[in-house]
Amino acid sequence: MGARSRPVVVIGAGMGGLVTAALLAAKGRDVLVLERAAMPGGKIREVMVDGVPVGVGPALLTLRPLFESIFSEAGGHLDRLGLVPEALLGRHAWVDGRRLDLPVDPAAAEAAIGDFAGAAAVTGYRAFRDRAKRIHDALEGPFLTAQRPGALALAMQSGLRRLLGTSPFSGLWESLAVLFPDPRLRQVFARVATYVGSSPLQAPATLMMVSHVEQQGLWAVPGGMPCLAEALAALAEARGAAFRYCAEARAITVAGGRAAGVTLADGEVVEASAVVFNGDAPTLAAGRYGRAVTSAVEALAPERRSFSAVTWALRATVEGFAPARQTVVHADDPTAEYAEIGYRAKLPTTPTVTLVAQDRGDGAVPEGPERLLAMISAPARADSRPLTEDAIARCGEVVFDRLGRAGLTVHRRPEAEVVTTPAGWDRLFPGVGGSLYGPAVHGWQAAFSRPGARTKLPGLFLAGASAHPGAGVAMAAISGRLAAARVMEEKA
């Protein structure tokens, strides 16, 4: 079989793999996507609860222009999804009854913050927005959307003075303390660290740029985020890509010093001109895909893994204040919370709880039970240390008690609830103890720890949350674009 008749094989139909497949197919490459699940999406997924699908992955979309560009490059149109803009970045609450609605609109956000914490807080918020923008502008072109440079190369490309002006060596929590004397506002804006599975106490201040991205707009996908994955898969297929679902890759084969194919769980060998791995890169180094590719990427120590999560997908009725599409009930003591998760590797005693109300938005008030997802951060852990059923039950009691004490009572029904633990995430996405976001972003050098699209093994490329530029739907999409570009550069 000649090289030209062998496809580029993409392992995993998560966001990075879908974008890679769509862009390569649009450029005329033969593409085959292998996905162990029965549908595309990866961590963009749903579970059936009480007869209806409930999303248990990302809920909202950022960086709409990025997706417009990707769809356009692949010959499609994002606007056919009918994205709906969100007015609120989130509704924030505490168990003492305090609440803050944070609008997307900057002027409205200033007014809300002023009412919540006074004029000095508005000044701090303006300074925060300015710094977040400067960080984003300094890093977007030379780092976020580019093939991964080292620290020195980044400084040269973005300009050393401009880069240092973003205070890249400072910590997120300490920087927010300077801007926001009110500790509650620090909690609100430190949440960006958890978006990438990291502790606000250890994350770098450069993560403020995530807030700038959010302030450019949040978008809901009618029908749920899986519709985005399905649209990308359909677009890739329309350009000639083939998909095989329920096809689990077990090994990447090597011949002539390069990746040459994939062995499936049933023993079938699929030959490839190149392989794009849209999974957790550390699992390659750990040998889960064969000894031949263990040296293609660096290993990741377990203590450098990002957080996992415990999630409760429900259909339930809600009493109290109306939840927004995203409502956050904050911990009593965030420093204790993240110390427990990060340093002590245990479930937090009084966790921050995020509640996603999937049937809300634009003032919609569902009649009867609605689709909800409650989640907390949890440590990633090995299979040998799973949480017991009793521990999860006690944790659930704490979680929903905290929601109730904050003014949001969720009426649970055992038959209408699906719980996923770190061990459950590890079964779905094996090899990293349930870690959901690749390496943790702890310390200013963490951004350079993710591998780029090209590995040490010719013909093997990376996409997804564990690759540059990082976790999140938009970042994974960028990784897929970068992987496609690297594949096109290489002469097989």
User: pLDDT tens digits for 264-285?
Assistant: 999 999 999 999 999 999 999 9
Q: Is 49 helix (H, G, I), strand (E, B) or coil?
A: strand
Say yes or no to pLDDT of 450 above 90. no
The torsion defined by the Cα of 418, 359, 18 and 207, in degrees rounded to 10, comes to -90
Say yes or no to pLDDT of 159 above 60. no
Which residues lie closer than 8 Å to 197 by C-beta, 6 or more apart? 306, 307, 308, 377, 435, 436, 437, 438, 440, 441, 471
Q: Could you identify the residue written with the tokens 């009572």? A: 409
Cα–Cα dist 357/59, whole Å: 9
What's the pTM value of the predicted model, to 2 decimals? Answer: 0.93
How do residues 113-142 score in pLDDT, each as one tens digit? 999 999 999 999 999 999 999 988 888 876
Q: Please give the pLDDT value at position 161.
A: 52
Q: Please give the pLDDT value at position 385.
A: 64
Can the peptide bond before residue 469 be classed as cis, meaning omega within 30 degrees of 0?
yes
Say yes or no to pLDDT of 360 above 70. yes
Q: Is 213 exposed, middle or buried (0-12, 13-18, 19+ CB in 10 A)?
A: buried
Query: Which strand (E) or helix (H) includes residue 64?
Result: helix 64-73
Say yes or no to pLDDT of 165 above 50. yes
Q: Please give the pLDDT value at position 449.
A: 80
How do residues 50-69 score in pLDDT, each as one tens digit? 999 999 999 999 999 999 99
Lowest mean pLDDT among 103-107, 208-212, 278-282, 382-386: 382-386
Say yes or no to pLDDT of 82 above 70. yes
Say yes or no to pLDDT of 416 above 80. yes
Q: Please give the pLDDT value at position 146.
A: 75
Say yes or no to pLDDT of 365 above 50. yes
The packing angle between helices 172-179 and 119-139, to 10°, is 140
> What is the residue extent of each domain of the chain?
3-58+225-301+440-489, 106-216, 307-428
Q: Please give the pLDDT value at position 168.
A: 61
Cα–Cα dist 398/139, whole Å: 40
Q: How confident is the model at residue 166 (pLDDT cuts 50, 70, 90)?
A: low
How do residues 320-347 score in pLDDT, each as one tens digit? 998 999 999 999 998 899 988 877 788 8
Residue 152: count other Cβ atoms within 10 Å of its Cβ.
9
Q: How confident is the model at residue 382 (pLDDT cuts 50, 70, 90)?
A: low
Cα–Cα dist 87/105, whole Å: 8
Chain mean pLDDT for the chain = 91
Q: Please give the pLDDT value at position 149.
A: 60
Say yes or no to pLDDT of 18 above 90. yes
Q: How confident is the model at residue 80 (pLDDT cuts 50, 70, 90)?
A: very high
Q: Please give the pLDDT value at position 1.
A: 40
Beta strands 326-329 and 353-357 are: antiparallel
Say yes or no to pLDDT of 302 above 80. yes
Q: Please give the pLDDT value at position 160.
A: 46
Say yes or no to pLDDT of 95 above 80. yes
Q: Please give the pLDDT value at position 3.
A: 45
How do residues 97-113 score in pLDDT, each as one tens digit? 999 999 999 999 999 99
Say yes or no to pLDDT of 2 above 70. no
Written out in words, the top-level CATH class of the domain with range 3-58+225-301+440-489 is alpha beta
Query: Which strand (E) or helix (H) includes residue 460?
Result: strand 460-462
